[in-house]
A and B are shown apart, each in its own frame.
Chain A
Amino acid sequence: GPLSERRLMDVRLGELPAWLATCDISAQGLLGGVQKAWSSYHDKYINVRRGGPAGISMLLAGYCLLSYGWNYQHI
């Protein structure tokens, strides 16, 4: 379909700058994007009927990596 309506995972690498130009960079748009990303992660890995520790463990591992990145200069 048209470039602006496709999700990030469906956009090819060469089309990435064009796709970035079409999306909404305002504060509300970014917040909506973050909300959408979180709810798709949550619904896919955590909000399942027979979930295990994997969903949150990935989240916590990502948080540890993020904190490592923030603290890199101090180490």
Chain B
Amino acid sequence: MNLSFFDQFASPSLMGIPLVIIAMMFPTLMLPSQDNRWITNRLSSIQSWLIHMITKQLMIPLNKKGHKWSLILMSLMMLLLSINLLGLLPYTFTPTTQLSMNMALALPLWMATLLTGLRNQPSISLGHLLPEGTPTLLIPALILIETTSLLIRPLALGVRLTANLTAGHLLIQLISTATVALLPSMPTVSILTSLILLLLTMLEIAVAMIQAYVFVLLLSLYLQENI
């Protein structure tokens, strides 16, 4: 009985064909397409406003060379946002609950920021490994610690997204199971649990958006150090 709670994260397949690809391409239907019209529909206007707002927020701290990254960072942001929010609908599959996908997103992008820094300004990038004003005796230890924290960044990025979404979905499933199971025997407790479920669902909507934003924000911060 316990193990069946994890079945929702199994990647769905029909006759052996993995349907995760369709689940990942579905968000493209919702996002605006290039129409070359001056006045587009309301959906496109809302999404354009949203994309402009987020782009300004993310790209202002970066210098001019960093602005070349705006396309990939914004596409990543829209992908994660739409995948996370679509996963909150009933019976849908959320690809970002799979660690494999999140690591596949985090590791190459983080490595790209690191290699950009090491190639264009190696001494400045390596200089980030030692904060200013450390006592001389602490320098070797601190360099080891900073290197470890640098190398663990992609793992942290991927696992953060995976763990937040997986935990949220699991909690929703557990609490809704509890609500339904309590309904015949203790209706008042069941109503209380359904209130908790409502609050949790609102939290999950917020978490879905925040986690996508945090992922891209951290990548832009890593880029700021290195570009």
Instruction: Report the minimal beta-carbon distance from A70 to chain B, rounded to whole angstroms.
Output: 4
| Contact B41 A68, beta carbon cutoff 8 Å | no
Q: Is the CB of A64 within 8 A of B43?
A: no
Write out, one digit per residue, whether chain A residues 39-60 have a CB within 8 A of any chain B CB (1) or not (0). Answer: 0000000111111100110011
Contact: A63 with B92, CB < 8 Å?
yes
> Judging by beta carbons under 8 Å apart, are B10 and A74 in contact?
yes
CB A56 to nearest CB in B, in angstroms, measures 7
The 8 Å CB contact of B92, one of A46, A55, A64, is A64
Contact A70 B42 (CB under 8 A): no
Interface size on B, residues (CB 8 A): 21
Chain B residues, Cβ within 8 Å of A68 = 90-91
Whether, in the assembled complex, B19 has its beta carbon less than 8 Å from a beta carbon of chain A, the answer is: yes
* A-contact bits for B68-93, CB 8 A (1 contact / 0 none): 00000000000000000010011111
A64 and B91 form a contact (CB under 8 A): yes
Partner of A49, one of B7, B29, B35, B39: B39
- Cβ of A71 within 8 Å of any chain B Cβ, yes or no, is yes
Shortest CB distance A30–B (Å):
14
> Contacts A64-B89, A67-B92, A71-B12: A59 and B41 contacting too (C-beta < 8 A)?
no
CA distance A60 to B43 in the complex (A): 14
A: contact size bracket = 10 to 19
In the assembled complex, the Cα of A38 lies from the Cα of B25 at a distance in Å of: 14
Query: Contact at A70–B14, with CB atoms within 8 Å?
Result: yes
Q: How far is the CB of B114 from chain A (nearest CB, A)?
A: 38
B39 touches A56 (CB 8 A): no
Residue B104, interface by CB 8 Å: no
**Are B41 and A47 neighbours in the complex by a CB distance under 8 Å?**
yes
Nearest Cβ in chain A — how far from B135, in angstroms? 58
Q: Which of B12, B30, B39, B40 contacts A70 (CB 8 A)?
A: B12
- How many angstroms between the C-alpha atoms of A75 and B35 in the bound complex? 42
Distance in angstroms from A29 CB to nearest chain B CB is: 19
B47 to chain A, nearest CB (A): 11
Contacts of B14 in A (CB 8 A): 70
CB distance from B110 to the nearest CB of A (A): 32
Give chain B nearest CB distance to A42 CB in angstroms: 8
B91 x A59 contact (CB < 8 A): no
A64 to B8, CA, bound (A): 14
14 contacts between A and B (CB under 8 A): A38-B29, A46-B41, A47-B35, A47-B41, A49-B41, A50-B42, A51-B41, A55-B43, A56-B43, A63-B26, A67-B92, A68-B90, A68-B91, A71-B91
User: Which residues in B have some Cβ–Cβ distance to A below 8 Å?
Assistant: 7-8, 10, 12, 14, 19, 26, 29-30, 35, 39-43, 86, 89-93
Given contacts A46-B41, A64-B89, A67-B92, 5 further A-B contacts (CB under 8 A): A46-B43, A47-B40, A63-B89, A67-B90, A70-B19
